[in-house]
Amino acid sequence: MNDLQARLSRCFSAVFPGLNAQQIAAASVQTVEKWDSIAMVTLLSVIEEEFGVQFDPEDIETLASFQKIFDYVGARRKVVND
């Protein structure tokens, strides 16, 4: 597990404390019952604070799984680092 994945997993774990590592990796709006609009706001706020990135409001609806958020944050960090 790379650094981004580990830190992102910690964010998911804080917002969805019942999930194990495998469930987090496969987490999505469909698979996690508690992933409602409030949980989404909390999750994105935690990630923004943790990684220093900012989500574009128009992109939020597309960020419906761990993998999609992982890709999004990875791309944003790359842009920032470049």
Partner 1 sequence: MKLLEALGALEESLSSQSPLLTVRLACGFSPLHLRTFLNAHLRQEFPAHRIQVGIGLYDDLAGNLERLESASSDAVVCVIEWQDLDPRLGIRRVGGWAPKQLTDITRGVRSTAARLADSLERIAQSNTVALALPTLPIPPVAFTPGWQAGSFESDLRQAVAELSTRLAGRAGVRIVSVQRLDRVSPPAARFDVRSELTAGFPYRLSHADALAALLARAIRNPSPKKALITDLDDTLWKGILGEVGVESIAWDLDQHAQKHGLYQQFLASISEAGILIAAASKNDPDLVDEAFRAAKPILPRDRIFPMEINWGAKSESVARILRAWNVGPDSVVFVDDSALDLAEVKAAHPEVECLLFPRDDDQAAYQLLEDLRDLFGKQALSQEDEIRLESIRASHAAAQAVGSPHMTPERFLAEAEGKLTLRFGNDPGDARALELINKTNQFNLNGKRHSDASWKRYLGESRVFLAVASYEDKFGPLGKIAVMAGRRDGSKISLDHWVMSCRAFSRRIEHGCLLHLLQKFGAEEAAFDFVPTPRNGPLQEFFAGLLGAAPERSFCLRKEQFGEKCPPVYLEIQEASNE
Which residues contribute to the site for partner 1 (CB under 8 A)? 10-11, 14-15, 17, 38, 41-42, 45-46, 49-50, 54, 57, 60
Q: What minimum distance in Å lies between the beta carbon of 11 and partner 1?
A: 6
Contact 16, 34 (CB under 8 A): yes
Radius of gyration of the chain (CA): 12
Q: What minimum distance in Å lies between the beta carbon of 81 and partner 1?
A: 22
Q: Which of 47, 55, 63, 54 is nearest to 11 (CA)?
A: 47
Q: What minimum distance in Å lies between the beta carbon of 32 and partner 1?
A: 15
